[in-house]
């Protein structure tokens, strides 16, 4: 784990990977070479990288139907992620999980859960496990604005609070649950206001500023490691992509889109780095080329990987 400027540069590198991984997937999906559907995370790179950058391998992640960014930032291998999208036997779920269930327990990334808020009670159990096994490990639990209206959210938040579990509730508020704007389904201004219903400290964070996200994450992780209990972070962000495959976002206001696209997390971080002479334009380009090459080779790896066998469908279940 890097420090100072090196860390900032490394976070940029990760964010650039997330963005271009998703863009590549989108392209491949349109080509028709990938089955199923996709829920992408372009625009939400700062929350994934900022929240997870300082975690240890032994710490845990629970994710959602939109897991790619979270998984890559937690350390799931790019190749195994890509191979899973191609439904190959080398996929992180052996082709059995698919886009909505990626993960790799060996790096602490639980298989993503696609039931809205369904991962939140699971995160409580992970927190309980970290505590009962007397570790100081923590779990970062991602969910969306829409998920905050599920009963599972309520039961999970309350339990984590009363048992002061090392769970960091990271709510990526991208303003929409599928096509429904958050203002149509809650009557409060900030979802962070819900923390007080459980006695959980909560913060509203600029989810498109990776440095701000990372600061908040560091505080929350520190609290959790010390056994002081959960924190609720509301990360305000925005999808640059559709909710799922071919969604033109006809339900979004164009002015709103422009406002948020102007706050793009990568553009902002890049500007910050250049303004503060943290890195040169040349170095950035070198990093970007390196990342793009990694993505291409991951695609080659996935394509070259063996297909699953039909009978494999009958294994891994009692």
Partner 1 sequence: MAKMSIAEALREAIREEMRRDERVFCLGEDIDVEGGFGGAFTVTLGLSKEFGHERILDTPISEIMIAGAAVGAAMTGMIPIADVQYGDFLFCMMDQLANNAAKMTYMSGGTVKVPMVMRAPVGATTRGAQHAQSLESFFTHIPGLKIICPSTAYDAKGLLKTAIRDENPVVVFEHKLLYGSKGTRAEKSALSPVGEVPEEEYLIPFGVGAIRRAGTDITIVATLLMVYKALEAAAVLEEEGISVEVIDPRTLVPFDYEMVIESIKKTSRLIIVEEDTKRNGWGAEVAATIAEEALYYLDAPIKRVATYDVPIPFAPIMENFVIPSPARIADAARDLMKY
Ligand X SMILES: Cc1ncc(C[n+]2csc(CCOP(=O)(O)OP(=O)(O)O)c2C)c(N)n1
Contacts to ligand X by CB under 6 A: 65-66, 114-116, 143-147, 174, 176-178, 243
The single residue among 74, 131, 194, 239 that binds a copy of itself, judged by CB under 8 A, is 194
242 binds Mg ion (CB under 5 A): no
Closest approach of Cβ 159 to partner 1, in Å? 5
Residue 206 is given by DSSP the state E
Closest approach of Cβ 238 to a copy of itself, in Å? 22
Stretch in the footprint of partner 1 (CB under 8 A) among 12-20, 176-184, 225-233, 287-295: 176-184
The single residue among 14, 148, 174, 208 that binds Mg ion, judged by CB under 5 A, is 174
Choose among 16, 59, 64: nearest CA to 270.
16
43 binds Mg ion (CB under 5 A): no
Q: Which two tokens stand for residue 109?
A: 């990334």
Choose among 289, 154, 261: nearest CA to 281.
289
257 binds, among a copy of itself, partner 1, Mg ion, none (CB under 5 to 8 A by kind): none
| Closer CB to ligand X, 84 or 145, in the complex | 145
Stretch in the footprint of partner 1 (CB under 8 A) among 97-105, 199-207, 231-239, 290-298: 97-105
Query: Can you tell me the distance from the alpha carbon of 290 to that of 310, in angstroms, rounded to the nearest whole number?
Result: 36
Output b/e per residue, 163-185; b: 16+ Cβ within 10 A.
bbbbbbbbbbbbbbbeeeebeee
Helix (H) or strand (E) segment spanning residue 47: helix 45-52
Q: Give bridge partners of residue 169 from the DSSP assignment.
A: 141, 232
| Closer CB to partner 1, 121 or 230, in the complex | 121
152 binds a copy of itself (CB under 8 A): yes
CB 202 within 8 A of CB 234: yes
Q: Residue holding tokens 């927190």? A: 127
Closest approach of Cβ 275 to a copy of itself, in Å? 40
4 binds a copy of itself (CB under 8 A): no
Residue 61 dihedral angles phi and psi, to the nearest 5° = -130, 135
CB 123 within 8 A of CB 68: no
Closest approach of Cβ 74 to a copy of itself, in Å? 27
188 binds, among ligand X, partner 1, a copy of itself, none (CB under 5 to 8 A by kind): a copy of itself
Q: How many CB atoms lie within 10 A of CB 225?
A: 16
186 binds partner 1 (CB under 8 A): yes
The single residue among 22, 84, 104, 150 that binds a copy of itself, judged by CB under 8 A, is 150
Q: Which two tokens stand for residue 4?
A: 């100072």
| Closer CB to Mg ion, 145 or 264, in the complex | 145
Residue 109 dihedral angles phi and psi, to the nearest 5° = -95, 105
The single residue among 105, 185, 286, 313 that binds a copy of itself, judged by CB under 8 A, is 185
Alpha helices in the chain (DSSP H): 4-31, 45-52, 68-74, 78-85, 119-132, 151-162, 210-225, 254-261, 265-275, 281-304
Q: Which residues of the chain form contacts with Mg ion (CB under 5 A)? A: 144-146, 174, 176-177
Q: Which residues of the chain form contacts with a copy of itself (CB under 8 A)? A: 149-155, 158, 161-162, 184-188, 193-194, 196-200
């Amino acid at each position: 784990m890097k420090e100072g400027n090196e860390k900032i540069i490394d976070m940029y590198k990760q964010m650039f990977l997330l963005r271009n991984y998703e863009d590549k997937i989108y392209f491949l999906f349109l080509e028709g070479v990938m089955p199923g559907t996709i829920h992408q995370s372009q625009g939400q790179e700062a929350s994934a990288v900022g929240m997870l950058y300082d975690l240890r391998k032994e710490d845990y992640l629970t994710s959602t139907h939109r897991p790619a960014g979270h998984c890559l930032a937690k350390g799931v291998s790019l190749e195994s992620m890509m191979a899973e999208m191609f439904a190959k036997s080398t996929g992180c779920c052996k082709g059995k999980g698919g886009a909505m269930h990626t993960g790799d327990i060996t790096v602490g990334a639980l298989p993503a859960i696609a039931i809205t808020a369904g991962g939140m009670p699971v995160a409580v159990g992970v927190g309980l496990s970290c505590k009962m096994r007397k570790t100081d490990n923590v779990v970062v639990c991602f969910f969306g604005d829409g998920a905050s209206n599920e009963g599972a959210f309520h039961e999970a938040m309350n339990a984590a609070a009363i048992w002061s579990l090392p769970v960091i509730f990271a709510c990526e508020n991208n303003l929409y649950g599928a096509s429904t704007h958050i203002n149509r389904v809650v009557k409060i201004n900030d979802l962070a206001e819900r923390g007080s219903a459980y006695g959980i400290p909560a913060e509203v964070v600029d989810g498109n500023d990776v440095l701000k996200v990372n600061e908040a994450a560091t505080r929350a992780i520190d609290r959790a490691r010390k056994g002081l209990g959960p924190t609720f972070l509301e990360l305000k962000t925005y999808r640059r992509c559709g909710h799922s495959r071919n969604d033109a976002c006809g339900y979004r206001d164009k002015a709103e889109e422009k406002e948020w696209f102007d706050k793009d997390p990568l553009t902002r971080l890049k500007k910050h780095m250049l303004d503060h002479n943290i890195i040169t334009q040349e170095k950035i380009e070198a990093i970007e080329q390196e990342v793009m090459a990694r993505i291409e080779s991951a695609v080659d790896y996935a394509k070259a990987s063996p297909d699953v066998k039909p009978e494999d469908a009958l294994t891994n279940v009692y």
